[in-house]
């Protein structure tokens, strides 16, 4: 009976919950989304959103939506300055409280993402995952996830992938409830989940 409920949750109920919560969330915060969009449009002198192609479930490529938190400032040679030098004051605020991630509710509603799952990484990593690491793509990527509440950028790539795959093998309603609850708690704490944003995660270069 329990196994049947777990399978039903993973196959059907999780997606239904994603749709309901993303719809409600978009409706609830739409005034804030609109306000930040206008402000960012003025600050960035263009699109308030940052679209980036990421691999989703079964490696299907989609465009992930975020608020644009960095300027397009370049050096004298026309090359973009390092990320930390391009983050705007408003962008730093949005990142600190993970507000820049809220437009991904649209990705959740579309079915590109889930509220909870392994975070979507870069396309170029697909070819260098080993078999176990690639299993993170057996489920939809999430706005938050098991590795997010257990260290995020402070984790090694090996630990991060291990946590992602552990989540894939242990999906349940109670686990998802724990992850979403811990995410809210850590976002609201001064030294929560966002403190790891100050740690620059080195690029994943494959397995030795």
User: How confident is the model at residue 87, as a pLDDT?
Assistant: 81
User: How confident is the model at residue 187, as a pLDDT?
Assistant: 79
Per-residue pLDDT of the chain (208 residues; tens, 9 = 90+): 767 777 889 889 999 999 999 999 999 999 989 998 999 888 878 889 989 999 999 999 999 999 988 877 776 776 777 767 778 888 888 888 888 999 999 999 999 999 999 999 999 999 999 999 999 999 999 999 999 999 877 888 999 999 999 999 999 999 999 999 999 888 777 554 444 455 557 888 888 6
User: How confident is the model at residue 195, as a pLDDT?
Assistant: 47
DSSP string, the chain: -HHHHHHHIIIIIHHHHHHHHHHHHHHHHHHHHHHHHHHHHHHHTS-SEEEEEEE-GGG-EEEEEEE--B---B-TTSPBPPHHHHB-HHHHHHHHTTGGGTTHHHHHHHTS-EEESSPP--GGGGGG--HHHHGGGGS--EEE-TTGGGTGGGS-HHHHHHHHHHHHHT--HHHHHHHHHHHHHHHHSTTSGGGGGGSPPPPP----
Query: How far is 182 from 192, CA to CA, in rounded Å?
Result: 10
For residues 72 and 88, the answer to whether their CB atoms sit within 8 Å is no
Query: How far is 14 from 12, CA to CA, in rounded Å?
Result: 6
Query: How far is 119 from 101, CA to CA, in rounded Å?
Result: 11
| pTM assigned to the model | 0.87
* 167 CB neighbour count, 10 Å cutoff: 21
User: How confident is the model at residue 91, as a pLDDT?
Assistant: 84
Place of tokens 């870069």: 122
User: How confident is the model at residue 72, as a pLDDT?
Assistant: 72
């Amino acid at each position: 009976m329990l196994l049947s409920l777990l399978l039903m949750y993973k196959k059907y109920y999780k997606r239904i919950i994603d749709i309901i919560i993303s719809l409600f969330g978009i409706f609830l915060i739409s005034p804030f989304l609109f306000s930040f969009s206008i402000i960012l449009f003025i600050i960035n002198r263009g699109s308030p959103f940052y679209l980036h192609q990421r691999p989703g479930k079964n490696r299907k490529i989609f465009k992930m939506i975020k608020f644009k938190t960095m300027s397009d400032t370049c050096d004298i040679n026309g090359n973009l300055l390092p990320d930390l030098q391009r983050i705007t004051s408003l962008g730093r605020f949005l990142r600190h409280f993970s507000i820049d991630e809220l437009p991904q509710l649209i990705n959740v509603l579309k079915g590109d993402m889930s509220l909870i799952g392994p975070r979507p990484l870069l396309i170029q990593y697909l070819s260098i995952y080993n078999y176990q690491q690639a299993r993170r793509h057996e489920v939809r990527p999430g706005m938050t996830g098991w590795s997010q509440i257990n260290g995020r950028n402070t984790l090694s790539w090996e630990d991060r992938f291990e946590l992602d795959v552990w989540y894939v093998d242990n999906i349940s309603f109670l686990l998802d409830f724990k992850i979403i609850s811990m995410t809210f708690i850590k976002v609201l704490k001064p030294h929560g989940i966002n403190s790891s944003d100050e740690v620059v995660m080195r690029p994943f270069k494959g397995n030795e």
